[in-house]
Amino acid sequence: MAQFETVRVPRRGFLKRAAAVGAAVPMAGGLIAAACNDDGADAANNVDYKDTKTPAAAVTAASQEEWEDIDHDHSAGIQQFLDNQESPLTKGKGNQPLEWTMDGDVKVFNLTVDEVEWETEPGNIEKARGYNNMIPGPVIRATQGETVRINVTNNLTESTAVHWHGLFVPFSQDGVGGLTQDPIKPGETFTYEFKLRNSGTHMYHAHHNSADQVNRGLLGAFIIDPEDPSTMPQYDKEWIFVVNDTSLGFTINGKSWPATEMFTAKLGDRLLIRYMNAGFMNHPLHLHGMPMLITAKDGWPLPQPYKCDTIDVAPGSRYDALVECTEEGVWVFHCHVLSHAETPSGFFGMATALKVEA
């Protein structure tokens, strides 16, 4: 592991960092960073910014870095991020809508649980797990009152089970391996079926060896539109915003800056952000430029919505936030535990932007 006290991040460290981040592997529920110390000089540059001990290290490194290098690296990172919006710098994209078929009145979805090689930032490929080979998993969407059937095929090398996080379901369908069902063994398919009783921003995720399975990618959004649309705010655009940490680094929708996706809205749009956290840590997510109106917590409408510019999303929780896009610009959007989002080399990890254009 890199020794933070002696670390300096020179200009070339900007690219070097990607390799260092890729070297961390989860083990026994914790994190062991194995830097690519192929030679002494490179070892000094291999700062693992994913490590939770980073803040002091970042400050030390900053004080040792030439200010011109800091400026250069910040600009270079922002340029990479902007380039990523024109042409993605990494392979793979999560949160894609999940197709369904109808069997009578039942909406039928198919999920596979897969071992995946997932590129979180340019050149950094992690041994991850994903539903339908993507991180976050595909978005399951249906309307309150519908009955859904979800066929889950386990392609992992270990057992799994799927929990429907936030939904009213019969006990037998709650997806806790060893409690509500036998775990789904490698190669097996298990079918869940239940009626959607409560609307809102929910999730599905592994609930078997879950500290490892969820943290390495087995989580997706489960959006249930209300039967009566007047029970939630009207919106023009929707941004599903899944954060994660530790095993795959600090990510938004499975990607780390500069590979995170910028969201574009038009001036005057009402944007609904649906936050969810698959990680081990709280992430106070901060949008520049405009306030957010928090309208729901864990899928339940708040009796008294409130405005804020930073919303602390705890593991497992969801928030609905409405943004009136009144201010033109490219507004940075990042976790305000700043060690999850910035280093002396500029943004990394949990950072993106909201572009509001005329």
Q: Under the rule (CB under 5 A), what is the footprint of Cu ion?
A: 283, 335, 337, 340
Question: In whole angstroms, how close is the CB of 116 to Cu ion at the nearest point?
Answer: 23
CA pair distance 77, 330, nearest whole angstrom: 15
The DSSP element (H or E) to which 190 belongs, if any, is: strand 189-195
CA pair distance 132, 138, nearest whole angstrom: 7
Taking the least distance from each CB to Cu ion, the nearer of 16 and 340 is 340
Taking the least distance from each CB to Cu ion, the nearer of 46 and 251 is 251
285 exposure class (CB count in 10 Å sphere: 0-12, 13-18, 19+): buried
Question: In whole angstroms, how close is the CB of 167 to Cu ion at the nearest point?
Answer: 26
Residues 111 and 152: beta-carbon distance below 8 Å: yes
Question: In whole angstroms, how close is the CB of 269 to Cu ion at the nearest point?
Answer: 26
Taking the least distance from each CB to Cu ion, the nearer of 207 and 334 is 334
Residue with the shortest CB distance to Cu ion: 335
Taking the least distance from each CB to Cu ion, the nearer of 194 and 280 is 280
Question: In whole angstroms, how close is the CB of 340 to Cu ion at the nearest point?
Answer: 3
Q: What is the CA radius of gyration of the chain?
A: 21
Taking the least distance from each CB to Cu ion, the nearer of 55 and 329 is 55
Question: In whole angstroms, how close is the CB of 243 to Cu ion at the nearest point?
Answer: 7
CA pair distance 18, 34, nearest whole angstrom: 13
CA nearest neighbour of 353 among 251, 240, 257, 236: 257
3-state secondary structure 266-320: ECCCEEEEEEEECCCCCEEEEECCCCEEEEEECCEEEEEEEEECEEEECCCCEEE
Residues 349 and 249: beta-carbon distance below 8 Å: yes
Taking the least distance from each CB to Cu ion, the nearer of 156 and 337 is 337
Question: In whole angstroms, how close is the CB of 135 to Cu ion at the nearest point?
Answer: 18
